[in-house]
Structure 1
Amino acid sequence: MATTDVSTDQQAAEASVAQSVRDYYGKVLASSADLKTTACCTDVAPPPHIAAALAEVHDEVMERFYGCGSPIPPALEGATVLDLGSGSGRDVYVLSQLVGPTGRVIGVDMTEEQLAVARRHQDWHAERFGHANTDFRHGYIEDLAGAGIPDASVDVVVSNCVVNLSPDKPRVLSEIFRVLKPRRRAVLLRHLLRPALARLTARRPGPGRRMPRRRPVHGGLPPCPGTRRLP
């Protein structure tokens, strides 16, 4: 009787999901007006300092950004921030202003078309802000090592409604904990994370071993309609 290689089937399914997401955000969408749903959008105004930073971002970057809110926490000056699924770079350029010249912002995205938009305006933003501190990398949020992100190398991880698109959320969360420095934080706009967090928690080290302490992964603000707050 023929047997099915579950791992191979799973890999094929995950590759298919990734390709569908890449095609949708890279080829189907030409601007945010082309989005097929408003299910994860919010009409809550961002805080004044975020609104001011958004006003400094290039028009094309804004038009090609498909996130659903603002996962940006306070007190970021001098921090190294990693944006998962950075797309056209809107949040990266907002963060660039908030971390200042002594900070650094890394954006990781798997869609070349989106990265091209982000990279096209790096010099424009650097001149406008008075400092160059952004780095856009092609890669997958399930494999941040492949994008060159070392262990314990970032202070803050943010993601704007992208983790929900991953076919392997526990692996994404494992990578987040790997790259975070001890006692640092992750801010993810919250979609479909509860089961992944439960599975990640189940894979705790055995007796006598301790997991490195990190601040918990939590939802960002403002909330997206139809989603639930993580505990």
Structure 2
Amino acid sequence: MDFQPLGLATDLVILTVRDGALQVLLIRRGIAPYKGRWALPGGFVRPAEDLETTARRELTEETGLAAAGLHLEQVATYGAPDRDPRGRVVSVAYLALVPDLPAPVAGTDAESARWVAAPDLLADPARLAFDHHRILTDAVERARAKLEYSPLAAAFCPPEFTISELRTIYEAVWGAPLDPRNFHRKVTKTPGFVDPIGATTTRDGGRPAQLFRRGTAPTLHPPMTRG
């Protein structure tokens, strides 16, 4: 039986909400193939590494961001025969959706690194190298689903936040406006999602708005739905 030589790699989709928009971390490739094109951070697995170790190493080497504290979860495995012009390469993609990440600093084989608005990339498949548009699409859908059944969105808000501030996170990740009244009702009726602190603020503008903090529920029942 014939076996084709096979390369194993990892790719990372690191998402955050910056300036009110869902953004993804990209590197501009400094080497062939696709030199000068934007791509997700990632690279080949070394002989002594497991997959997640490779993902964390590549993230730090290519962007300068510390990977030790990130929660990474596998999205999918990508193995189309022609996905990499260098030969047959299978890649395992990882996702992290995290707040408060600093500006990246390019390293190793990356010319530059920066945060880019995810909706712009999703609308233009030609902007990303390899099959990274497909990987990004799958990862963003996973992130959007996570906000349906987990309280993760609250981690992107200040320690004390308004429901309007929480809604802007959902709108950024889901990529669609939400009805303020329906959203307020769903959030405040979901057990353990948010807790009122007995104070108000006018920082949203207009009338004083009630302040909340993140509740203790690990999952949301019933889930938030995109409708």
Q: Same fold (TM over 0.5)?
A: no
User: If the length of structure 2 is used for normalisation, what is the TM-score?
Assistant: 0.29
Q: Which one has the bigger helix percentage?
A: 1
Give the TM-score normalised by structure 1. Answer: 0.29
State which structure, 1 or 2, has the greater radius of gyration over its C-alpha atoms.
2
